[in-house]
Amino acid sequence: MSRSEELYARALRVAPGGVHSPVRAFKGVGGTPVFMTGGSQARLRDVDGREYLDFCMAFGPLILGHGNAQVREAVVAALDRGWSLGTAEPYSLELGEFICSRIPWVQNLRFVNSGTEAVMSALRVARGATGRSKILKFEGCYHGHADAMLLRAGSGLAEAALPDSAGLGAEAVRETVVAPLDDEAALAAVFAQHGKEIAAAIIEPLPANYGLLPQRQAFLETLARLTRQHGALLIFDEVISGFRVGFQGYCAVAGIEPDLVTYGKIIGGGFPVGAYGGRRELMQQVAPVGPVYQAGTLSANPVAMCAGLAALRQLADGSLYAQLEARGARLERALRGVPKLHVQRVGSVFWMCLGEVTQDVIRTPKQFPAGCAQRYASMYHPLLARGIYLAPSGFEVGFLSAAHSDADIDQLAEAVAATVAKL
């Protein structure tokens, strides 16, 4: 029995499924999760001392790789000063100023502790500002585990026996309207029926929790136009794409300024974090200046704020994004020649899908080839045996980091090609 198997047997006695986030349990690929002790640059180490090339990167936050020296220096300094204060402090101010001065549509922001919390708070602001109750979301977009967002959502739910979670309140379900991605006609019909009741439409402008589903520019522009016409707010959930596809996120790629935006992952430098922000008049609805209440004991934790600022300072001039784009293009070129393997990529985010794909770009979950999750599972453990660590679910995306080299990219491509050839 390996050390990971021993630890997993113990973990099953103290935690549901032995894990603290569902996808870590390897349910989507089978077998026992690998317990990791740490990471360095582009590599992870497990409890048995084995190294893996990491293309999960903590599900996205580690755009600079594991153990980035400048982030580590900022964290150590923060720990020496005091790691939890519960007071006003200068560190969130510095990170907030850094973001607001560089992203025009974020005039005010509030730091929280997770992407879920950021989304939950942004939705509350939207309801408070509009006086409306309904929220429009899209099938295949994941916005965290707040009740109203756990409808046809993706992420760990993509592998669930049922499409939704148990335990959802009936009122939350009634107040959530779900529309398909990539369908302007269906979107117009939703607004025709519910337009006067919709407080906000929330979307991942680059859906990346149910595979990678790039949306057409025309679809995003139609959504922006319909929200304006009907007096609803537009919320872009950029927890994954924010500071990942560019410093200004997918908002800048699409050329669309949302009313509110949510962030997470990268802005904490690898520490727990979330943020929501947007137009000043909307954010001034938030307590203590407005009637929309939101609070958090550990919000704007000094360690996360200092780590995030150290990370964003390295990204701000855009040079690392150019490097990541080049590495992503290299990987895409290498994988394009693998038979029956469909690859989708935007910048340093990529997704591999095994099966017969009839369109150039998969944009909705309904376009997935039958059995693609099972085929991913069949190649997962052979890749793991070759020292390649990917997210343990066929519906999760992969991430490149600034720590990955051309040789690392080539090693992944060669391992995938060899593994698929044997399937």
In terms of residues, how long is the chain? 423
End-to-end CA distance of the chain: 27
Which residues form the catalytic set?
142, 237, 265
Both tokens of residue 79?
């720990």
Give the residue among 283, 207, 257, 238 at the shortest CA–CA distance from 115. Answer: 238
Distance CA 292, CA 233 (A): 16
Note the maximum CA span of the chain.
Answer: 62
Sheet containing 36-40: order of strands: 36-40, 43-46, 51-54, 388-389
CB-CB contact of 64 with 56 (8 Å):
no
- Whole-Å CA distances, 259 to 120, 130, 194, 228: 15, 12, 19, 10
For tokens 């410093």, name the residue: 247
The C-alpha angle 230, 235, 237, rounded to 5 degrees, equals 155
Q: Which residues, other chains included, contact 170 with Cβ-Cβ below 8 Å and sequence gap of 6+?
A: none
